[in-house]
Amino acid sequence: MNTKQQSLLYLHSAVLLFGGTALFSKLIGLPALDITVYRAAVAAVILFIVLTLQKQNIRLANAKDYGIALLLGIVVGIHWVTYFAGMQMAGITIGIIAFFTYPVITVFLEPLLTRYLSKNKVSIKPKPKDIFIAFIVMLGIFLLIPEISLGNQVTLGIATGVLSALFFALRNIIHKNHFSHYSGPHTMLYQTLVACLILCLFVEVPPMDVTHDDWLLILLVGVIFTAMPHALFASSLRYLSATTAGLISCLQPLYGSVLAFLLLSERVNMWTIIGGLLVISAALFETWSVSRR
């Protein structure tokens, strides 16, 4: 197996594990915020151990980077809480589809943030292609909604999933512009640590009241489904292009849906399949288009 084939194996393994993360929203009997806090704590410890064994410098370069790390940790924390909450309300398959609106959200959000955060206040208008793709995504999300009311759990879960996508897109833009000079495990150490420390103030179930089975699942999601896929994903980028990584990452809803069907017997109707195909196709196209540019 050559280095490129090995990198593809790493990438598919990482995306499969990312897709499996959603299952724990149903398997762990805790609120979404509590799952996020305990998952982040386990991941932070594991990443700290990995970086220490690799004899990498844990510290950041300057005070500004610590401020960015704090902001990223807050954004990641909100993203994870809304991600798990969306899955708990709408189900794994619908929740992941709603979350995968983030590539299209990124296309609109990035020029806006670039305009207001950069010194050169250049107005960047969305292209007709992007507006059309956004319409396709909105149509796909509309097909998922069973009832136009936030009183419906599935509808509320979809809205929460889209909110999670917004914060994930925001996290990626900030990371790309201000924090990409650090390695993947290094950045995730600070993001998981900050998310854990800030959100732990709002935990409903204290550690001593978490059941033995839930702790085992928390360890599993923190080590195997958080720390490991991020390390694999970072390793794969050494020999693969951003285009390849982005396109293969769009398989995450497929992996998550299949795992939910096999392990949780979660079934979906035809409208969900059609809506999901529209959203994921739009995500694939935008990822390919942006990466090509």
Degrees, nearest 5: CA angle 4-8-9: 115
Task: Look at residues 219, 224, 283 and name the one whose alpha carbon lies nearest to residue 254.
Answer: 283
Phi-psi region of 265 (alpha: psi -120 to 50; beta: other; left: phi over 0): left
| Residue 128: predicted pLDDT | 81
pLDDT of residue 193: 95
- Which are the contacts of 184, defined by CB distance < 8 A and separation ≥ 6? 230, 231, 233, 234, 237
The DSSP letter of residue 206 is: -
Residue 229 host element (H or E): helix 228-236
C-alpha count within 13 angstroms, C-beta hemisphere, residue 56: 16
pLDDT on residue 290: 62
Q: Which of 191, 189, 153 is nearest to 170 (CA)?
A: 191
What does the pLDDT profile of the chain (293 residues) look like in tens digits?
Answer: 778 788 888 888 988 998 899 999 999 999 999 999 999 999 999 999 989 998 888 999 899 999 999 999 999 999 999 999 999 999 999 999 999 888 888 888 877 776 665 555 555 666 788 788 888 888 888 888 887 777 889 999 999 999 999 999 898 888 877 887 888 788 889 999 999 999 999 999 999 999 999 999 999 998 999 888 877 887 776 777 666 777 788 888 888 888 998 988 888 888 888 988 998 888 888 777 766 65
**Residue 250 contacts residue 68 (beta carbons within 8 Å):** no
Rounded Cα distance, 44 and 59, in Å:
14
Helices 270-292, 252-264: axis angle to 10 degrees equals: 150
What pTM was estimated for this model as a whole? 0.88
Say what the pLDDT of residue 242 is. Answer: 61
